[in-house]
Amino acid sequence: MIWIVSLLLSFTLGTSQTLPATGRTLVAEGDYVAQTKTGDKPLSHWQLWHLSDGGYEVVDTNVKNASSVQIFRFDSHFLPIGYIRKLGPVSKTQNSNVATLPGWTISCQYESKELSCDDQSSDGRKSTTSIAAEAPYVVTGEFYDLDFAWFMTGIVHLASRNGTKDGVVNAYALTDGAKAGDIGLEPDSPIRSCLPAKRQQKSWAKRRSSRNTNGNRMTFPCCGLLHRAWSLA
């Protein structure tokens, strides 16, 4: 069982706000900044969008590599319904024997009883996989720069909305498929959305804060990162 601190981003969103012709409106945005001895180091920029169908979408873009993008999809109740990970081609560096690596996009859709994922690379390779899933659940993988805050936002909403025992949410991990280049899915260790009080006090000392477009401040635990957001005009 994986123990993970509970965090919950609560947004007071105006339901009467008219969406633009593009079908989505920007609700909030912010940056992840690493604290260093020489100052703050920007890591990525995120944007929260309200979609025309009532759902929400978070787009997180890496500062150093703009082709590295994460997209978290939520329904109108802010329950996770999908995750997309994109990475552009990696060019061969000078004096390197490593060939240029193709870009790829992994897109996972959460259905009530099935999780399905598609993988498509810039060189034309495609792979699809699915697995019977027990709700509530999320997909996990070896994503070194996973946006932990938005990932855990979905976890906490699932646990609280579904009234799961001890805040447990099932997890399914992306793996290598049976053939080279294919992807697969397998059950992973369930995720617990909260820590015991004593352990939480010892493990999580720093906090970060953000503001949504209505100016409401939100605070939540943070592991060594500063999280900043600005109200929209």
pLDDT tens track, the chain, 233 positions: 433 333 334 443 443 344 554 689 999 999 999 988 888 899 999 999 999 999 999 999 999 999 999 999 999 999 999 999 999 987 766 455 666 778 999 999 999 999 999 999 988 899 999 999 999 999 998 887 899 999 999 999 998 876 656 778 999 999 998 888 899 999 999 998 764 433 333 333 333 334 444 444 333 333 333 344 333 33
pTM for the whole thing? 0.75
The ranges assigned to domains in the chain are 2-11+21-89+101-230
Q: Could you tell me if 45 and 69 are in contact, meaning their C-beta atoms sit under 8 angstroms apart?
A: no
Q: Is the peptide bond before 80 cis (omega within 30 degrees of 0)?
A: no
Taking alpha carbons only, the member of 40, 38, 88, 39 closest to residue 62 is: 88
φ, ψ dihedrals at 95, nearest 5°: 60, 30
